[in-house]
Amino acid sequence: MLQKGNIMRHLLVLLFLVASLPLWGQQKEDLSLEDAINKALENNYGIITSEKSQRISRMNNTWGNAGALPTVRFSGQGNTSRNFNDTDNYTSQQMSGTVQMNWTIFRGFSVRIQKDRLEKLEKLSEGNLAVVVENTIFSVIMSYYNILLSKEQQDIARTNMELSRDRYERAQHSKEIGSMVTYDLLQAKNAYLRDSSDYLSARSSYRNAVRELNYLMATPLQERYAFTSSFQPDTSDFAYSNLVQKMLENNNTLENQYMNLELARLDVRSAKSAYYPSLSLNASGGYSDSETDYETMNNLDQSRSGADASIGVSLSYTIFDGNNRKRALKAARIQKQISQVKTEEMKQDLKNQLAQEFELYRVRKQLLQVADENLKAAELNLELSRQKFENGTINSFNFRDIQQLYMDAAYNYQRAVFNVIQSYHTLMRLTGGIIEEYEGEQAMENQE
């Protein structure tokens, strides 16, 4: 039985060594939270596609695309023909070219409205990019701290496994000298195997968390880093009224909805412009040349050329179009009302989210204090119990219970730290402060 136990212990050690091999021999790059955010801002797929979409919107925002500039076209043609007849053969050549310009001078202010619309679409595209950047920064922050949480949990699981291993080795020694029965040895062995399994699971969770961050940064998934930022929460106190004010002024999603409302108002103005007349300017100029050349009867040769030009103004007005303009105007006004309702709904929804998250943030800060005190007590209890267990004052079952209490307290504390970090940055995202906070940290680093 003892020989089998030694074999099991060696197998577990070998398993841990094999699991660690991919990390040995690989140079780890230092990676702070700011470094991770910079990598994501440079390489993240969503940011790259949003930047290109924003670039298209900026390119489209021109007076020409709004219809303010004239259209100029050129058309030309030329041909040569050879005629054979009984009288005399001749060659005929013809060439002509025409330049036409069409310019709609006025069509119910629609050009100005369309230009305003293109400007709003460009700003909306910038707003969408800001939302993508904000969400990416938030995701990177949460992913980074999730790695730190997983690392802490892995270390806790390793510590617990080592405690169980010491207990198992002590039980083996006691069995050898005859002071422990086989049942107690099996209990110690089962506890050691279970804690070893928990450690392997924690190690796997840590690696998966690193892969998730690599995905957000668009770097190779197998990359490994030395994470240098500390796993500490920001427990700043906030005034709820200030948070509401910041949210209504700076929330990027809400600002995009304001832009959608402006676009709906422009659609109403565009529908009204259909009731105005349209005034257009047309101008054209051309040149033509034709020649006929006989082989022998040169007196019949002909040559003609000439140029022409014209300019005109046209005015058109739609008197009746089957009430299509009226229906379009009504639909645009209804759509504007829908956009107004959606804006108010979004404000209310964001206020609700902010209130809930603000309350959750305050509760989680209190839970963090409780978890900290609980962990300190559990650590002291574990140390005292270990001494008593080594002295034989308490049995292995009592020590196992206290060990499990320490594990639960340690896990609860680390999770409480992560929860406060999550709530803090959720408040920052709702109030539009994530990008501002990140830019502020970057400015401080540059000054240093």
Structural domains of the chain, count? 2
- pLDDT at 247 (0 to 100): 94
Domain of 98 in residue numbering reads as 70-106+278-316
221/116 same-domain check: yes
- Give exposure, 213-224, as e/b (b: 16+ Cβ within 10 Å): bbebbebeeeee
- Is the CB of residue 217 less than 8 Å from the CB of residue 144? no
181/306 same-domain check: no
Which two structure tokens, joined as six digits, stand for 68? 């303010």
Q: Considering the entire predicted model, what is its pTM?
A: 0.83
> Considering 316, 339, 374, which residue would you say is the last residue of a domain?
316
373/436 same-domain check: yes
> Considering 287, 316, 345, which residue would you say is the last residue of a domain?
316
- pLDDT at 281 (0 to 100): 94
Beta partners for residue 75, in sequence order: 98
CB atoms inside a 10 Å sphere around CB 110: 21
CA 304 – CA 94 distance, rounded (Å):
9
260/272 same-domain check: yes
pLDDT along the chain (448 residues), means of 10: 47 48 58 94 94 95 92 90 76 88 91 95 94 95 96 91 83 71 78 89 94 95 92 93 94 94 95 93 90 76 84 92 93 96 96 97 96 94 86 81 90 96 95 78 53
- Is the CB of residue 68 less than 8 Å from the CB of residue 111? yes
Residue 392, sorted as left (phi over 0), alpha (psi -120 to 50) or beta, turns out to be left
CATH number at residue 95: 2.20.200
Burial class (CB in 10 A: 0-12, 13-18, 19+), 249: exposed
Closest by CA to 335, choosing from 268, 389, 388, 284, is: 268
97/117 same-domain check: no
285/170 same-domain check: no
CA 259 – CA 250 distance, rounded (Å):
13
- Give exposure, 318-355, as e/b (b: 16+ Cβ within 10 Å): eeeeeeebeebbeebbebbeebeeebeebeeebeeebe
180/154 same-domain check: yes
At 384, which helix (H) or strand (E)?
helix 324-391
Residue 25 backbone phi and psi in degrees, to 5: 75, 0
312/399 same-domain check: no
- Is the CB of residue 40 less than 8 Å from the CB of residue 217? yes
HSE-CB for 397 with a 13 A CA cutoff? 3
154/8 same-domain check: yes
273/284 same-domain check: no
- Is the CB of residue 198 less than 8 Å from the CB of residue 410? no
295/330 same-domain check: no
CATH number at residue 207: 1.20.1600.10
234/206 same-domain check: yes
